């Protein structure tokens, strides 16, 4: 049965690419879309930055037709600023606007934004209502189980957010206090999904890093889809691998070294197309290691890739990697 966010059909069991700071930019999203991701999110965008027209924030509004359906994700601690930011986002014509109530990092949460708002549920509900009322497109939420072990109110909170008009919720199976430590607990995610009062899609997130794990959470907790973050970094193939396994109960062949080189080159090309050669090459530097993780004695090539600003030189180095490490299995 097709899952819908508002009136938008997102498939039977959609795989969502998590919004990740300094990762989920258009070049990375392009690779993930090509490899089976169903729903995209931008990197989270500061509401204050948007209403001040800060370049770093407005640039994150760049979305492209090939990546639809896509949501623009915003964060902030001021209700008025968040409402205005949502109105700005709507003009960029995404399919939906996503509110970040899950980011655990100190500089965000300690100001009452991201997961910080989990300390003030009435404000969280009021902010959500303001954003829903201010826009004409579906509003979704990404959040966590609660602030800490003693405040895991997600079952009640999800219902309250639904009641003020959100059209889907993604839940990370950790508290803010846990950050990314320990193991994600999906029990409460399952309780949200199986709450008879819930009728919007419930997506689970946290430690979904393999086809087997995806199948397990789908069958055990009944979620409508899963959101994948860290498992996709340097490995966009994870989406198609999961889809193939869910359909056939068999594994796709793992990408070869040649596949990794091709993906890396495509990522670089997308990066240059988005930001121009100089900035595109600079922004790509943080991604090389992820594509070639596990190759022994790769340091020499990694240094060449991250220190060169010459496109031909970088492409030549990638060609050498393909030849030098041919046959390496991951």
Active site members: 103
In a 10 Å sphere around its CB, with 0-12 CB exposed, 13-18 middle and 19+ buried, how is residue 52 labelled? exposed
Burial of 294 (0-12, 13-18, 19+ CB in 10 A): exposed
Backbone Cα Rg of the chain: 20
* Tokens (6 digits) for 181: 């430590």
Paired tokens of 52: 């001040």
In contact, 169 and 197? CB cutoff 8 Å: no
DSSP state of 110: T
Alpha-carbon torsion angle 219, 173, 90, 40, nearest 10: -60
What CA dihedral angle connects 92, 135, 45 and 239, to 10 degrees? -80
Of 248, 231, 297, give the one whose Cα is nearest residue 37: 231
């Amino acid at each position: 049965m097709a899952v819908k966010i508002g009136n938008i059909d997102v498939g039977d069991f959609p795989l969502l690419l998590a919004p990740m700071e300094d990762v989920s930019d258009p070049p990375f999203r392009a690779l993930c879309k090509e490899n089976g991701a169903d729903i995209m999110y931008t990197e989270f965008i500061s509401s204050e930055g948007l209403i001040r027209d800060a370049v770093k924030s407005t640039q994150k509004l760049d979305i492209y037709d090939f990546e639809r359906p896509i949501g623009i994700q915003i964060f902030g601690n001021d209700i008025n600023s968040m409402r205005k930011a949502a109105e700005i986002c709507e003009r960029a014509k995404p399919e939906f606007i996503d509110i970040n109530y899950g980011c655990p990092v100190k500089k965000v949460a300690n100001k009452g934004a991201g997961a910080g708002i989990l300390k003030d549920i009435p404000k969280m509900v009021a902010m959500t209502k303001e954003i829903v009322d201010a826009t004409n497109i579906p509003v979704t939420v990404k959040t966590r189980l609660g602030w800490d072990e003693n405040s895991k109110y997600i079952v009640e909170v999800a219902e309250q957010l639904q009641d003020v008009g959100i059209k889907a919720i993604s839940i990370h199976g950790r508290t803010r206090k846990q950050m990314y430590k320990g193991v994600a607990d999906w029990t409460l995610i399952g309780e949200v999904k199986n709450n008879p009062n819930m009728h919007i899609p419930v997506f689970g997130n946290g430690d979904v890093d393999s086809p087997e794990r995806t199948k397990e959470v789908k069958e055990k907790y009944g979620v409508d889809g899963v959101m994948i973050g860290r498992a996709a970094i340097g490995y966009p193939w994870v989406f198609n691998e999961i889809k193939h396994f869910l359909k056939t109960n068999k594994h796709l062949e793992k990408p070869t070294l040649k596949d990794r080189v091709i993906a890396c080159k495509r990522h670089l090309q997308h990066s240059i197309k988005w930001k121009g050669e100089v900035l595109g090459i600079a922004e790509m530097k943080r991604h090389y290691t992820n594509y070639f993780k596990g190759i022994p004695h790769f340091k020499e090539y990694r240094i060449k890739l991250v220190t060169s600003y010459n496109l031909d030189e970088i492409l030549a180095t990638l060609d050498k990697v393909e030849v030098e490490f041919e046959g390496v299995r991951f």
